[in-house]
């Protein structure tokens, strides 16, 4: 069995496929699908998104310095793709995708009501890296849909059937294979996974 060597590229897959909602200074909102989003710090809580400067949402992000990361699900896969291939210059994505704009608590950009998790963000810094500019942001609030809470008040995202993006395809996630630290716990059932 051999291995191939490819030219340098981005092969860190799968990626979270998130819909980022933004608005301009006049209150006009838009949604952009982002594959390059991630957690960058726990304390203070910080995230990043990377956006091409030619994207319609880019100027909105720069103008207001605010955005909401909305996690996506199997139910939202069509809207996730649509918001990534259609431009807000031409269409109202909330209307076309039948998504509900919900007021955020700390920023003017709306949350997407159908998303199981909405993360309100305020830009701290913009790094101009090349094809994409990275928006490094502080997390101001996290909103979760009550219907994914279990009887012990634990949030169960897997029930929302979250999706990820890999090499041009949207994929399902959700099967729990273990929990943090299970590999070192003295539990016969969990060690059988090896």
Radius of gyration of the CA atoms of the chain, in A: 18
For residue range 94-149, list pLDDT tens digits in order: 999 999 999 999 999 999 999 999 999 999 999 999 999 999 999 999 999 999 99
Write the class of the CATH domain 15-191: mainly beta
Identify the pLDDT of residue 8. 87
Q: Is 81 helix (H, G, I), strand (E, B) or coil?
A: helix
Contact present, 121 and 114 (Cβ < 8 Å): no
Residues making up the chain, counted from first to last: 194
Split at pLDDT 50, 70, 90, the class of 178 is confident
Identify the pLDDT of residue 92. 97
For residue range 159-171, list pLDDT tens digits in order: 999 999 998 999 9
| Angle at alpha carbon of residue 72, lines to 114 and 109, rounded to 5° | 60
Q: Answer with the residue of higher pLDDT: 190 or 172.
A: 172
How far is residue 110's CA from residue 103's CA, in Å, rounded to a whole number? 5
Q: Answer with the residue of higher pLDDT: 75 or 187.
A: 75
Q: Answer with the residue of higher pLDDT: 9 or 133.
A: 133
Identify the pLDDT of residue 187. 61
How far is residue 149's CA from residue 122's CA, in Å, rounded to a whole number? 27
Domain extent listing, the chain: 15-191
- Give me 138's structure tokens: 């502080």
Alpha-carbon distances of 83 from 65, 114, 127, 158, 182, rounded to whole Å: 20, 14, 24, 23, 38
174-177 contacts: CB < 8 A, separation 24 or more? none
Identify the pLDDT of residue 7. 87
For residue range 26-49, list pLDDT tens digits in order: 999 999 999 999 999 999 999 999
């Amino acid at each position: 069995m051999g291995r191939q060597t490819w030219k340098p590229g981005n092969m860190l897959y799968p990626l979270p496929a998130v819909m980022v909602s933004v608005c301009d200074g006049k209150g006009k909102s838009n949604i952009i699908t982002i594959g390059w989003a991630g957690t960058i710090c726990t304390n203070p809580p910080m995230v990043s998104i990377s956006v091409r400067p030619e994207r319609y949402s880019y100027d909105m992000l720069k103008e207001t310095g605010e955005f909401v990361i909305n996690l996506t699900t199997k139910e939202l896969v069509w809207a996730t793709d649509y918001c990534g291939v259609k431009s807000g210059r031409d269409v109202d994505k909330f209307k076309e995708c039948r998504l509900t704009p919900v007021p955020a608590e700390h920023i003017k950009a709306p949350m997407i009501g159908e998303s199981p998790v909405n993360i309100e963000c305020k830009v701290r810094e913009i790094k101009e890296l090349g094809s994409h500019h990275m928006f490094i942001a502080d997390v101001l609030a996290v909103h979760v849909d009550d219907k994914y809470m279990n009887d012990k008040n634990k949030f169960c995202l897997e029930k929302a059937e979250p999706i990820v993006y890999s090499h041009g395809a949207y994929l399902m996630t959700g099967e729990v294979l273990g929990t943090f630290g299970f590999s070192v716990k003295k539990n016969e059932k969990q060690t059988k996974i090896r």
